[in-house]
A and B are shown apart, each in its own frame.
Chain A
Amino acid sequence: MASENPTASEYIQHHLQNLTFGQHPDGSWGIAHGAKEAADMGFWAIHLDTMGFSIGLGILFLWLFRKAAKKVSADTPSGLQNFVELMVEFVDGSVKETFHGKNKVIAPLALTIFVWVFLMNTMDLVPVDFLPTIAAMLGIPYFKVVPTTDLNATLGMSLSVFVLIIYYSIKAKGVSGFVGELTLQPFGKWMIPFNLLLEGVGLLAKPVSLALRLFGNLYAGELIFILIAILPWGLQWALSVPWAIFHILVIVLQAFIFMMLTIVYLSMAHEEH
């Protein structure tokens, strides 16, 4: 905690503050204390908590799946292999339903997105004060445990997807085809600037909407958990349990939507219009 008896707004702000490492305006390096210091650090600062949790969860995902993949066999599966196969089959089915071309990247990409985003979202179900309190005992002033409530995390993923969209668009249609797609429709060659504006917005909306949807859902969910945590102790139970149960649906759904939209965008990139 920043102070011993925080007001409600201090408490909320504290919970929404990332552990930011960067250069202070005075030239020294260190952790930002408070939102203003973090904002002053500008672009060259890094959220240690977001990075730590996302990388940790990513490694957990890959370690678990790699463990199963090493021992995988075509005989009767059991335990972990069952689970991993279930996930792989589910993702493979989703990809094959939507994407009909040949691409070795999309399916593993979709699997990574689904499981990783799901794991990051799941951090939302950890009681809001649990990990930050432990972190505070260890001397860490700010600790935001859900990476997907950090716009940097979701935007980082969606921009990677955006790069892939552009890459596969050019690969499938060539530079001229891609540029033509952006400029020559929907109104033909006499309206090129207008077409470019329209299509450009459409193209840019993809990563932005992808990132903001996930971020918005999880941020709002986290905020409600924080608000519930401010309430008197007895009420917390009555509200946070139903919200958490509802949230189980949200975290899976948002991970699935992120995956599905990625597949859809990439399959659109492969198709000629």
Chain B
Amino acid sequence: MNLNLTLIGQAISFAIFVWFCMKYVWPPVIAALEERSKKIADGLEAANRASRDLETAQEQAAQTLRESKEQAAEIIEQANKRANQMIDEAKEQVIADGKRLREAAQAEIEQDVVRAKEALRAQVSVLAYAGAERILGATIDEKAHSEIVEQLAKEL
């Protein structure tokens, strides 16, 4: 068990091995390990982000759905209102039309009455003339007496 040159030989080979390991073994392996852990971290982060995105999208979808529902309800309500309005308007129109027609008819009737009265009056005056002629036996100056006759007719 004597110390000899082996000691130095061992130290030299040790140094060479360490150098080789430091130069050619350690860096690529540790780089790959770091790269992989980075990849995994990135993957996890991406998964997180994706799930967050999904959540946002779901929220957005729900929001949109809610809005659409609201809008649809609003539109239906408006349509209902409009329909009611239209019915009311139609009713009013009908009533107004009816009223107008009735008034027009009434006016016509009144006009007819007036006209009939006029015609009657005219005929009455003629009859009066004729009667008077017969009674008097003479012709009456139409122009001279028409005033009186017309006044008479008016009193009818």
Contacts and interface: CB of A to CB of B under 8 A. Distances in A.
A160 interface: yes
A51 interface: yes
Given A55-B13, A58-B13, A88-B33, A104 B25 contact: no
A1 interface: no
B17 A88 contact: no
A263 to B, nearest CB: 13
Interface in A101-144: 104-105, 107-109, 111-112, 116
A153 B6 contact: yes
The 10 A-B pairs at the shortest CB distance, nearest first, are namely A156-B10, A152-B6, A108-B22, A74-B35, A108-B26, A156-B11, A47-B6, A74-B36, A72-B32, A69-B28
B154 interface: no
Contacts of A112: 14, 17-18, 21
B14 A50 contact: no
Most B CB contacts (10 A, CB to CB) among A42, A116, A152 go to: A152
B17 A62 contact: yes
Interface of B: 1-11, 13-15, 17-18, 20-22, 24-26, 28-33, 35-36, 39
A108 B7 contact: no
Contact of A38 (B2, B35, B36): B2
Interface string A145-172: 0010011110111011000000000000
Contacts of B7: 152, 155-156, 159
Interface string A74-109: 110000000011001100100000000000110111
Contact of A151 (B3, B30, B31, B35): B3
Contacts of B35: 74
A63 B150 CA distance: 149
14 contacts: A43-B5, A46-B5, A54-B13, A62-B20, A69-B29, A73-B32, A88-B29, A107-B30, A108-B18, A109-B18, A111-B21, A112-B14, A159-B7, A160-B11
A39 interface: yes
B21 A65 contact: yes
DSSP class of B's interface residues: helix, strand, loop or mixed? Answer: helix
B6 A51 contact: yes
A226 interface: no
A233 interface: no
B51 to A, nearest CB: 24
A61 B36 CA distance: 24
Nearest to B11: A156
A51 B20 contact: no
B19 to A, nearest CB: 9
A64 B105 CA distance: 120
Contact of A62 (B2, B11, B21): B21
Contacts of B39: 74
A51 B9 contact: yes
A147 B7 CA distance: 11
B6 A156 contact: yes
Contact of A74 (B1, B26, B32): B32
Contacts of A251: none
A157 B12 CA distance: 9
A51 B29 contact: no
